[in-house]
Amino acid sequence: MSGVITRPLREPFARRTWAEALYLVLTFPLAVAGFVFALVSFCLAVLLAITFIGLPLLAATGLAARRLGAVQRWLARLMLGQQVAPPPPFAAQPGLFGWLGSALRDPASWRARAYLLVKLPLAVFTVYVAAVCWGVGLFWLTYPIWWRSSGPGPVRANMFLDAAALIFRGVSSTGPRLAHEVTVHFREDVYADTWPRAVLVQLAGLVLLLAAPWAVRGLVSVDRWLIRGLLARTRGSERVRELERARAQVVEDSAATLRRIERDLHDGTQAQLATLAMNLGQAKEKLEHRANVPFDPAGALDLIDTAHRHTKEALAELRDIARGIHPPALDLGLDAALATLVARSAVPTVLHADIRDRPSRAIETIAYYSAAELLANVAKHSHAEHATVEVTARDGALCLQVNDDGIGGAHPGTGSGLPGLNHRVRAVDGDLSISSPPGGPTVVRVDLPLHA
Amino acid sequence: MRVVIAEDATVFRDGLVRLLEERGHPVVAAVADGDALATAVAEHRPDVTVVDIRMPPTYTDEGLRAAIALRREHPGVGVLMFSQYVETRYAAQLLADNSAGVGYLLKDRVADVSDFVDALGRVAEGGTALDPEVVRQLVGASDRAQALNAVLTAREHEVLALMAEGRSNAAIAEALAVGEGTVEKHVASIFAKLGLPASHSDNRRVLAVLHYLRAG
């Protein structure tokens, strides 16, 4: 309750108010320059359009407008704390005509130009309102001084409209003239020339001064809105960027996966099988009564035994690699696959699955590998004693949550596979969120659409 | 012969050590990467090294690079590259200046133990041992392959391939189950048809054949 009362009183002295006032003052010259530049360059380019420099001029000044927009964004960030994502950098197609075409079609340039044209009228209006509010407010607040010093006399100032003019005139004119002109009147014949009336004027001044920050804030908000609308990256370009990033990540990921599988096959299975062939070749020669190899059934048996062992190891490794490529249990559904996964987990884990709508195969695979990765993290890093995996799929959304009672401290930006997981989830417009305070517990939640 | 092995897959390395020791060839060092190989060779001065191409840290071609450095620093030490894959580019790099004491075999070849040990022995003595797959790729990659097919008979083609692998006339005769005299006649005919100077040293003629193929 006290805030409602004291806030308006504190506001004129708030840091934000001064920052906004400073912003107005500092961006005013830029607004003038930008307006002149945008208008003149555009008109000049249109007039010169019949010559060969018209279009290049339009293109070049468009890019320059983009730069001015960047300066404006920088000022807004510095003084208003307004963070907006800049539009994607200008990307020219090769060749002079490619550059020209790209520059003329660059939406960010045109939007920046539009901003420069709109900014000046807004800035003028805002500065006017600010000057009136603060100037007149101060004047009215201190009204008894002027009134008393000039005494009752001929009056020119209309209470609401002429006051600002009077301030400006007052600043430029000498004292005695001011003295004649400062008695405020309420109506044509009602003057604020008595103390109660003077106090009323003062109160009005106070209200005006208190209202000033809000008026300025409102108009600066319009500017913020323009910056967001015209100088920021548009949703479309943002989306394109996001998708490009996601696509690059997916391509990179699948290449990395293939490399990993090749490495696993090369270092594991192929080496095992080559060794197996070697052992069997040796054993065979020991049984062949060859000239250069003594007949040695015991040695051969020993080698066959080794080969037998290698075969079993190779089979197990091959099974792991195959499962790494595609877990067979996924064919039965996500819950079946997760049940197998949970059963193999090193940390005792409970699964709660509620899958009402079956997700697409791609989503199931991502969800499965997310769970596998998260459970592997639990086993490796968390020192947890218990973990749970919850998965629900209904109403068009899949939610996977892995909880553990470990030491916490998991961070999305650091190792342990979380960044990669994040990329994979985002590639299908999913979301990964982590809550892992030091000391635990850790909750990682993966939200995915049902169909990618 | 005294052998140094550089191979990062433990199970394969151990198997190889056992095989060679059993055949009476002491393995003086068995290491797992290129740097360790250089150190081991400098220390033990073996007759021959068996080098895996893909080893840590990058798992690309460090074995090959280590082998090329090895041949520069210790020209007398034979190098048998051992790989799961045949890359013609690797073979070409390895054989760039000189094929004496160089081998390049697929790991599969170890299944025929005696052939493998023979090949290793050949490399240790300054000969050459190229995998049939390497030869096939070198021949296949050659623009002269077509010309070869037109000029050589099927049997001469087989002999050429076996020559390129680095085999002696006796070994070729055995592989084709013909007399050594027959092989000699085929070899002479091949050299005449390709316009190569006749050479009796196995190693020199490998070089001649490879040079002929690479020139294509």
For A317-328, the pLDDT digits (tens) are: 898 888 888 888
- Which is nearest to A400 in space by CA: A420, A424, A374? A374
Cβ within 8 Å, pair A281-B54? no
pLDDT of residue B160: 86
The answer for A 215-244 residues in CB contact with B (under 8 A) is none
Give which of B21, B85, B113, B115 to mutate to test A binding, by max A Cβ within 10 Å: B113
Among A6-15, A263-272, B42-51, top mean pLDDT goes to B42-51
pLDDT of residue A204: 80
pLDDT of residue A416: 59
pLDDT 10s digits, A338-361: 998 999 888 999 999 999 989 998
Q: What is the band of A184 on the pLDDT scale with cuts at 50, 70, 90?
A: low
A210 near B CB under 8 A: no
pLDDT of residue A308: 93
pLDDT of residue B31: 95
pLDDT 10s digits, A214-250: 888 888 899 999 998 888 888 777 778 778 878 888 8
Partner residue opposite A281 with nearest CB, options B9, B84, B111: B111
Q: With contact defined as beta carbons under 8 Å apart, do A154 and A160 qualify?
A: no
Partner residue opposite A271 with nearest CB, options B12, B19, B22: B12
Distance from the Cα of A100 to chain B's closest Cα (Å) equals 45
| B57 upstream amide cis, omega within 30 of 0 | yes
Beta-carbon neighbour count of residue B160 at 10 Å?
24
pLDDT at A276 over 90: yes
Catalogue the E-assigned strands of chain B. Answer: 3-6, 27-31, 48-52, 78-83, 102-106, 128-130
Q: Which residue of A has its CA nearest to B23?
A: A293
- ipTM for this model: 0.84
